Chain A
Amino acid sequence: MTSLAAAPPERRVPRWLARHETLLAAVLIVALAILGALNNRFLTLDNLLNQGRLMTEVGLIALPMTFVIITGGIDLSVGSVVGLCAIALGYSWKNLGFPLPAAIAFAIALGAICGFINGFFITRVKVPPLIMTIATLALYRGFAEGISQAHSVRGYPEWFYFMGQGELFGVPTQLWLLVAAIVIAGVALDRTTFGRSLYAIGANETAARFSGLPVDRIKLVVYTLSGLMAGVSAYVLVSRVTTTRSDMGIGYELDVIAAVVLGGTSIFGGSGTIWGTVVGLVMIQLLKDGLALTGVKGDATIVVIGTVLIASTLLASSLQKRRDVGG
């Protein structure tokens, strides 16, 4: 029943949950085979590693976003947090005179604070996540533009570019970071009480609360994590493009959510896996790349991605119906 692509050790989660990811992984392999046949540069190690490099920024944010969506919430402000942290990195280094490692730490901490603010208002003041994060989407972007005053910061020292453009044992540096993050996130979701609680909160928040789970504290943690990873993603992004701009990260939230939803996480909460998110992420990135290499122009690629997303959502909901009927 299991395909070679979806074989995590012993899942205690019901079989039906594994099915969506397996199907998706199978579709991914078929798509890769077709695209590889159409263009002989697609399946080269060089190209695949390069794609890994490019998908890290969205990938890092997709991991905590999976947590957030499993709890039934959403975080639309991640793109703006990336922009704000990128600006904070450049601004604190150039204008405030922080030593560069301190500036990087400051930017990541700022991301965590932005996420914390989101979580605070969502849990204490009970603002719905959609509304709160739409508001902070605008707020954080406004701060980024206000602080930067449109000046970009350039001229970082050589060692700074190692994260975004360097390689470790032949593999892009940020890809190591992404893989480590995936492993940690996967283990946390699958094997810890924390992860188990996320599913409980997403499935039925009231029941979870009355079962004694610290619902508010857990939600606060996931939103803070979301902001934190956005901060790390900002560092990787600035390192890769060697400059900071206040319009960085615009549109990231949509790419992240597309990857998470494509991977089988239900937007209503209660189900989803890190593995699914990874497959979704890889699928979108490699599809875009493979299509572009085959000669399909930019606009047509977006059409294909949209179609794939719709098809996957239909698939997921038909599996959901089967589950509900089957008990």
Chain B
Amino acid sequence: MMKLLMTTVAAAALALTFGASGARAGDKWDGADDLPTNPLACDSSGGGTVAAKPYDGGQPTGAPDKAGKEITLVDVPKLIGIGYFNATSKGMQDAAKELGNVKVTTDGPTEAKIDEQIKFIDNYVTRGVDGVLFAANDPVAIAPVLKKALSKGIHVVGYDANSTPDARQWFVNQAEFNGIGKALIDSLAKEIGEDKGFAIVTSTFTTPNQARWIAEMSAYAARCHPKLKWLETVEAQEDNVLSFNQATTLINKYGDKLAGLVGMTSVATPASAEAVTKAKLCGKVAVVGLATPNAMKPYVNADCVKSVVLWNPVDLGYAATYVVRAVVDGKLKPGDTSVEAGKLGKLTVVNGSEILLGAPFIFTKANVKDFDF
């Protein structure tokens, strides 16, 4: 009797599992953050128009006037311990040294979890810092603690991954979302051809910047490369091992149908390149994505990866620090259209409260050796 019950239960469980997994297989997830996309024209060089929106950032209440005085900042990235955020941190230290009256500490969770990130920011708010720099794991969930910081007179500036606009004063955007989307899809189409299949390895489906990039990629591909077949998008949580496993699974699953892998994070791209190398498919499966040059040097030099898209994260951290200093000194106010950022010169303000770093940069075999981050 018990045996019969157990067998039925086991069978039902198996059926349920297959049913549930079947519903999700091959889902072409496309960004899911419900914001409008703005794909660029198919042949422009990737500049895009600067949108003139009124300032929509938040403001601190009762911030002490520290113009010209020393300020302490804390930087809470999505997670610590990966090359990308080590680079942004380095940029901040460089800016702090140049400015002379800024101290920046980088501290954050060891996994890209929003709950942990909120706790870190909360603790620093209680400790009392002059400014918080952040790269959000979730745009909406991080808003309450950032608003709390603003209400305690602490300046808040974001970089890399945005929060809702009213929870921070400024956001330093590395490149326009549609610019990144265009650069990635164009690189991909150039390598694999117009009518092949590709898959995407991303961090999580709810991370703000990756979600926006994928939404823009989807819109741009539909517009300019309609014959490209989008096979699947998988999550890899900014974890090396998981990214490698996911990439290998995709290769095994789609076999010949897969001609290209796109890595959306600086962890996913080298892991995908490693998966392609291990499967001995270099040259047959293209790997395109966002990554730091150091991580990709071996693959670019082995001709496994032709081009890597990124901006300079060192510059990103550098710019963010200069923005906070300008805000505290009163040199950057709501409604301004540009800000001075040391060696980067003048950066433009777009979309109300976003500061644009510039256009995405493409690393290839020719120039990858010139960079060290």
Which A residues are within 8 Å of any B CB, using their own CB?
Answer: 39, 41, 46-47, 50, 54, 121, 125, 139, 142-143, 146, 149-152, 154, 165, 240-243, 245-248, 250-251, 288-289, 292-293, 297-299, 302
Contacts and interface: CB of A to CB of B under 8 A. Distances in A.
Nearest to A249: B115
B140 A50 contact: no
Interface of B: 2, 5-6, 9, 17, 20-21, 23-24, 27, 29, 32, 80, 107-110, 113-115, 118-120, 122-124, 126-128, 138, 140-141, 143-144, 204-206, 235
A165 B141 CA distance: 12
Contacts of A150: 29, 32, 204-206, 235
Contact of B107 (A50, A142, A154, A297): A297
Contacts of A152: 138, 140, 206
A142 B21 CA distance: 9
Contacts of B144: 165, 240-242
Nearest to B24: A146
Given A241-B144, A245-B138, A50 B32 contact: no
B35 to A, nearest CB: 12
Contacts of B140: 152, 154, 241-243
A152 B205 CA distance: 9
Contacts of A125: 2, 5-6, 9
A196 B127 CA distance: 45
B206 A245 contact: yes
Contacts of A243: 138, 140-141
B29 A298 contact: no
Given A125-B6, A152-B138, A242-B141, A289 B123 contact: yes
B23 A146 contact: yes
A246 B123 CA distance: 25
B6 to A, nearest CB: 6
A230 to B, nearest CB: 15
Contacts of B204: 150, 247
B108 A241 contact: no
Nearest to A57: B115
B203 to A, nearest CB: 11
Contacts of B205: 149-151
A242 B163 CA distance: 13
Nearest to B140: A243
B32 A149 contact: yes
Contact of A149 (B27, B110, B127): B27
Contacts of B32: 149-151
B143 A242 contact: yes
Contacts of B17: 139, 142
Given A143-B20, A146-B20, A150-B205, A298 B141 contact: no
Contact of A47 (B29, B119, B126): B126
Given A245-B206, A298-B80, A298-B109, A41 B126 contact: yes
A204 B140 CA distance: 49
Nearest to A291: B123
Q: Which of A149, A246, A298 has the most CB of B within 10 A?
A: A298
Contacts of B80: 298
The 6 closest A-B pairs by CB, nearest first: A150-B205, A241-B141, A292-B123, A243-B140, A243-B141, A154-B140
30 contacts: A39-B127, A41-B126, A41-B128, A47-B126, A54-B119, A54-B122, A125-B5, A146-B20, A150-B235, A152-B140, A154-B140, A242-B141, A242-B143, A242-B144, A245-B114, A245-B138, A245-B141, A245-B206, A247-B206, A251-B113, A288-B119, A292-B120, A292-B123, A292-B124, A293-B123, A293-B126, A293-B127, A297-B107, A298-B80, A298-B109
